[in-house]
Structure 1
Amino acid sequence: MKIEVIKIDDLAIHEHHLEIIYGADKFKFATKVFYHDISFSALQEKYSQQLIERIAAHIALFEGMKLCSLFPKYYDISNISQHLEKPVLDLFVKIYQGVFGQHWYENNVTDYQQPEIIYSADLGESNPEQIFGDNQTILTGCGGGKDSIVAMKMLQEADLPFASMQYSHSVYGKADLQHKLISQVLENVQPVKKHKISIFDDFIDFPFLQLYFPENSGITAPETPVSIFESLFLMLAGGYNYLCLAHEKSANTGNLFWSEIGREVNHQWGKSLEAEQILDRFVRENLLSNFKYFSILQPIYDFRIFQNLSKYPEVIPQIHSCNIQKPWCKKCPKCAYVWLGLMAFCQPDRVDAVFQTNLFDDEDLLPTFREMVGLSVHTPFECIGEIDESRLFMKRCLEKGLSGKALEMFRQEILSDSSIDWQNIEQKYNFVYLKEHAIPDALFAQLKDKF
Structure 2
Amino acid sequence: MNNTSKFNSLRHEFQKFIYEGFSYTLINNSLSIIFDFYVDNKIEFHPQIEFQIESYYHFEKIEKSNLENLIFNIGMIELISYWKSMAPSKVIIKNYKLTDKQISFWKKIYFHGLGEYFYLNGILPNYDDFLNIYSVGHKNLRSFDVETDDSAIIPVGGGKDSIVTMELLKKFSKNNLALILNPRGASIFTAEVGGFTNRILKINRTLDPKLLKLNAEGYLNGHTPFSALLAFVAILAAAATGKKYVALSNEGSANEPTIIGTKINHQYSKSIEFEKDFREYIHENITSDIKYFSLLRPLSEFQIASIFAKNPKYFKSFKSCNVGSKTDSWCGKCPKCLFTFIILSPFLKPKVLEDIFGCNMLQDKSLENYFEELTGISEVKPFECIGTVDEVNAALCLAKNSYKILPYLLQKHQNYFGNDYCQKINKNSLLAKISNEHFLEEKYLQILKSELNEKN
- Band of TM-score, shorter chain: 0.7 to 0.9
1:142 maps to 156
CA distance in 2, matches of 1:435, 1:278: 18
Which stretches in structure 1 are left out of the alignment for 5+ residues? 169-174
Deviation at 1:90, TM superposition (A): 1.2
Deviation at 1:443, TM superposition (A): 3.1
Pair 1:228 & 2:248 matched: no
8 Å CA contact retained: 2:164, 2:304: yes
SS of the residue 1:152 aligns to = helix
Deviation at 1:182, TM superposition (A): 1.4
Alignment CA distance shift 1:68-1:415 (3 Å) = farther
2:380 maps to 378
CA distance in 1, matches of 2:446, 2:169: 12
2:410 maps to 407
Pair 1:6 & 2:6 matched: no
8 Å CA contact retained: 2:295, 2:444: no
CA distance in 1, matches of 2:408, 2:75: 47
2:212 maps to 206
SS of the residue 2:382 aligns to = coil
SS of the residue 1:242 aligns to = strand
2:5 maps to none
Residue 145 of structure 1 aligns with an amino acid whose one-letter code is: G
CA distance in 1, matches of 2:157, 2:65: 31
Residue 125 of structure 2 aligns with an amino acid whose one-letter code is: D
TM-score under structure 1 length normalisation: 0.88
CA distance in 1, matches of 2:123, 2:429: 35
CA distance in 2, matches of 1:40, 1:319: 26
Alignment CA distance shift 1:5-1:332 (3 Å) = farther
1:172 maps to none
CA distance in 2, matches of 1:39, 1:151: 24
Q: How many residue pairs end up in the alignment?
A: 429
Deviation at 1:424, TM superposition (A): 5.6
Equivalent of residue 246 in structure 1, options 235, 246, 249? 249
CA distance in 2, matches of 1:115, 1:342: 42
SS of the residue 1:136 aligns to = strand
Residue 193 of structure 2 aligns with an amino acid whose one-letter code is: N
8 Å CA contact retained: 1:313, 1:350: no
Alignment CA distance shift 1:203-1:414 (3 Å) = farther
2:145 maps to 130
CA distance in 2, matches of 1:40, 1:393: 41
SS of the residue 2:450 aligns to = helix
CA distance in 2, matches of 1:301, 1:433: 8
8 Å CA contact retained: 1:86, 1:125: no
CA distance in 2, matches of 1:92, 1:422: 46
Deviation at 1:317, TM superposition (A): 1.2
Instruction: Give runs of aligned pairs for residues 142-161 of structure 1, distance below 5 A.
Output: 142-159=156-173, 161=175
CA distance in 1, matches of 2:373, 2:435: 30
Pair 1:69 & 2:84 matched: yes
Deviation at 1:386, TM superposition (A): 0.8
CA distance in 2, matches of 1:387, 1:381: 13
CA distance in 2, matches of 1:39, 1:4: 44
8 Å CA contact retained: 1:254, 1:265: yes
Instruction: Give runs of aligned pairs for residues 11-410 of structure 1, distance below 5 A.
Output: 11-15=22-26, 16-25=31-40, 26-37=42-53, 43=59, 45-70=60-85, 72-82=87-97, 84-113=98-127, 114-122=130-138, 124-132=139-147, 134-159=148-173, 161-168=175-182, 175=183, 178=184, 180-191=185-196, 193-202=199-208, 206-213=212-219, 216=220, 218-257=221-260, 263-326=262-325, 327-401=329-403, 403-410=406-413
CA offsets, 1:108-141, max 9 Å, x none?
Answer: 222332311123334x334210112x41111111
8 Å CA contact retained: 2:116, 2:266: yes
Alignment CA distance shift 1:314-1:145 (3 Å) = same
Q: What is the identity percentage for the equivalent residue pairs of Structure 1 and Structure 2? A: 22
SS of the residue 1:14 aligns to = strand
Which stretches in structure 2 are left out of the alignment for 5+ residues? 1-8
Deviation at 1:92, TM superposition (A): 0.7
CA distance in 2, matches of 1:41, 1:137: 15
Deviation at 1:65, TM superposition (A): 1.2
CA distance in 2, matches of 1:296, 1:394: 26
Residue 302 of structure 1 aligns with an amino acid whose one-letter code is: E
CA offsets, 1:280-304, max 9 Å, x none?
Answer: 1110111112121111101110111
8 Å CA contact retained: 1:245, 1:296: yes
Residue 22 of structure 2 aligns with an amino acid whose one-letter code is: L
8 Å CA contact retained: 2:16, 2:92: no
CA offsets, 1:228-281, max 9 Å, x none?
Answer: 1111221122111111010111011112245xxxx4211111111111111011
Residue 23 of structure 1 aligns with an amino acid whose one-letter code is: Y
SS of the residue 1:388 aligns to = helix
CA distance in 1, matches of 2:339, 2:57: 44
CA distance in 1, matches of 2:52, 2:24: 14
CA distance in 1, matches of 2:174, 2:114: 36
Residue 143 of structure 1 aligns with an amino acid whose one-letter code is: G
8 Å CA contact retained: 2:118, 2:125: no
Deviation at 1:89, TM superposition (A): 1.3
